[in-house]
Structure 1
């Protein structure tokens, strides 16, 4: 791509900030413009449900400071909503009608919390947690709350539950499925965290469908009523029922969407002048067998770097290898650190082990082949699994059994 060309990035989260930074690292000298609809500089989202609730310091969340953007001639236009894409003109259209031309457009629009179609969802005191503004609002309310009900037993819901219990707040978690974090982790790991949360005083209710949110007669929530008629009193209700890709810009521009913006192995959309990365991108990973979205900082960062390298070198899809960033995830819940190496959801065989330092491990297999590791408070084992799997080291169940499930026994294959 010519240095005289313009790259426009829609989205100022992890993926958007990283693609801008990586373009400069790859010596792209053209114009870079990034549009974000939130105020302020790009920031980290994972701490919002954990450390930010305790320290309340937004400066610690920043991905890059203003000096970085100034020094690298990256134009950040925050609090600016992009309303449409005019693909024929190679322009984006802002909410106020202003147009900005692009030579290449990178969609890093992220995800949005799922809205639950239940009565009372709009009551005062019914909260969501996705942005810094949400987190600030919740921090301001928690001091006066004796009991919080959380709808959803996924990562965010459980991270928040552990944090709130640490502050002495009573917490009830309402999860529709029969186990926590069911979409993301093995049943054995779910059982581990079920026991942990109950041990710290979380009132964890599984198979709990919410019928409505209660109005305490002044427009403020008083809790929830479950499908079985049970009433759960609460001062605040946090809705943490998962997220959906922000793919409306692409869809309205006529680009294919399928649980996110459809991209090829180079992270290009059906329009070669438009790429999509991060939480909004629907792609096929070499480790998977179907189209997926990966909601993680690692995925956002790695995809941003891949697209930046392709654009800086001025190539289309044909000159680069397919995207194959190795997926890994984490979740901090109280003093328990869950780490996942690989895509373990497709496992049809699992082996549970504990290491000599008190760590909990679930080795995951598909048809006898090692595909990933879920760990709790076992960072060394997690890192070794990441290194082995990312390097393409083939391991099977027999080999691991012979090694006593000690992954360090295979480090000579790296």
Structure 2
């Protein structure tokens, strides 16, 4: 038996949950966590919500106390991995050292996508992924009056809500007819669009940003492709994320194509094409028995579930991963839970609603070819288990039955 440690590469929730699971499942060997960030692993949803608004302190980001790591793992912070040699079972670190492993988990997460906008490097232009970026953004929001957000996905809309709750003027630029359209489609995107306009956000739909305007090295506004200028003291670029697959590429591991969202290809046990290498969290493209295709999801619950599953698989559990994607958001007085998977706005036939969209208390179902693909509860709690049962059913309830879902 190898005396080398099990190694986890990553500083997010997938890494944290994997480490906990190793110990809960009785693994007594050496365990090393390698992260390029300066802290032990933490969760990211608060970075765009209560932590950004100053309603939660830093300790709320860490799901495991520091003394737990002191007892159970060797956490190498500020030590990004720079290379991976599967044949030698060796991980290269930025400080020039190498770390041998018996088994390896890649949980490297994702990074904000940065489009080549002129002016993207000006002071006052922000990205949001790390705790430091959230803190810099929070400090800037305290001083700003006008905020421009480029991108109308989850990060963009959650920050828009936080900025409005802090009393800032907010303009959001999105390419679709509605915010969140790529995930929710136009019908439910409209719900979130109305939510934000009702709270004073200036939504610029079907609008492409051409450049960030600057004066004396600092951002002062945004210019669209149509030549319109919108003044802003602060600009957030939130146009999406890209999986951190650099180590996998360097090691020659199999990747998924763009049609499946990219990422590292894994099997049902979250094993990559490399011997004794697993992947979890944002980077893992996992075959879905329910949807008959690989699915890569960048959400909190997937990090938890896949991190735990990978650790058990590394300890010999041969159970296939079969979790449905799940995510949530809180914006103003709207709380939402969603489970299932829809490949895009053209991948479903209809959206069936039970409840009242007008009063923001309802459940929506996305259906295609007689089966439900996904369901979303808005200000309706503890129903996702029932929704999951409907998604997994061989035949969906009738439209009338879905409309009367209570």
- State the partner residue of 2:312: 309
- State the partner residue of 2:274: 271
RMSD of the TM alignment (CA)? 1.8
Question: How many Å separate the matches in 1 of 2:295 and 2:134?
Answer: 28
Q: How does 1:2-401 map to 2 (within 5 A)?
A: 4-55=3-54, 57-71=57-71, 73-216=72-215, 218-258=216-256, 259-313=262-316, 320-345=318-343, 346-354=347-355, 359-386=361-388, 388-389=389-390, 392-398=392-398, 401=400
Cα distance change, pair 95–5 in 1 and its aligned pair in 2 (3 A): closer
Q: Which runs of 5+ in 1 are unaligned?
A: 408-414
- State the partner residue of 1:412: none
Cα distance change, pair 143–354 in 1 and its aligned pair in 2 (3 A): same
Question: How many Å separate the matches in 2 of 1:91 and 1:342?
Answer: 37
**Is residue 47–residue 61 contact of structure 1 (8 Å, CA) maintained in 2?**
yes
Q: Residue deviations 1:24-59, cap 9 Å, x none?
A: 111011111000111122211001101002225111
**Is residue 339–residue 376 contact of structure 1 (8 Å, CA) maintained in 2?**
yes
**Is residue 153–residue 240 contact of structure 1 (8 Å, CA) maintained in 2?**
yes
Query: How many residues are aligned here?
Result: 396
Question: How many Å separate the matches in 1 of 2:397 and 2:238?
Answer: 37
> What SS is found at the alignment partner of 1:352?
strand
Cα distance change, pair 402–99 in 1 and its aligned pair in 2 (3 A): closer
Q: Residue deviations 1:369-393, cap 9 Å, x none?
A: 122212211113334313x247x44
Shift of 1:205: 0.6
Q: Which runs of 5+ in 2 are unaligned?
A: 257-261
> What SS is found at the alignment partner of 1:294?
coil
Shift of 1:159: 0.5
Question: How many Å separate the matches in 1 of 2:252 and 2:401?
Answer: 54
**Is residue 243–residue 282 contact of structure 2 (8 Å, CA) maintained in 1?**
yes
Question: How many Å separate the matches in 2 of 1:121 and 1:54?
Answer: 24
Question: How many Å separate the matches in 1 of 2:45 and 2:375?
Answer: 21
Shift of 1:3: 8.6
> What SS is found at the alignment partner of 2:172?
strand
**Is residue 10–residue 41 contact of structure 2 (8 Å, CA) maintained in 1?**
no
Q: Residue deviations 1:111-147, cap 9 Å, x none?
A: 0000111100100000011100001111111121010
Shift of 1:176: 1.3
Question: How many Å separate the matches in 2 of 1:403 and 1:16?
Answer: 38
TM normalised by structure 2 equals: 0.93
Shift of 1:5: 4.9
Deviating more after overlay: 130-139 vs 350-359 = 350-359
**Is residue 11–residue 35 contact of structure 1 (8 Å, CA) maintained in 2?**
yes
> What SS is found at the alignment partner of 2:213?
strand
Deviating more after overlay: 155-164 vs 264-273 = 264-273
Deviating more after overlay: 83-92 vs 366-375 = 366-375
Cα distance change, pair 81–309 in 1 and its aligned pair in 2 (3 A): same
TM normalised by structure 1 equals: 0.91
- State the partner residue of 2:259: none
Deviating more after overlay: 114-123 vs 3-12 = 3-12
Deviating more after overlay: 257-266 vs 148-157 = 257-266
Shift of 1:4: 4.7
Question: How many Å separate the matches in 1 of 2:393 and 2:292?
Answer: 19
**Is residue 365–residue 397 contact of structure 1 (8 Å, CA) maintained in 2?**
no
Deviating more after overlay: 337-346 vs 171-180 = 337-346
Question: How many Å separate the matches in 2 of 1:311 and 1:197?
Answer: 44
Question: How many Å separate the matches in 2 of 1:182 and 1:79?
Answer: 37
Question: How many Å separate the matches in 2 of 1:145 and 1:96?
Answer: 38
* Consecutive aligned runs of 4 or more in structure 1 exceeding 6 Å deviation: none
Question: How many Å separate the matches in 1 of 2:402 and 2:68?
Answer: 48
Question: How many Å separate the matches in 1 of 2:401 and 2:181?
Answer: 30
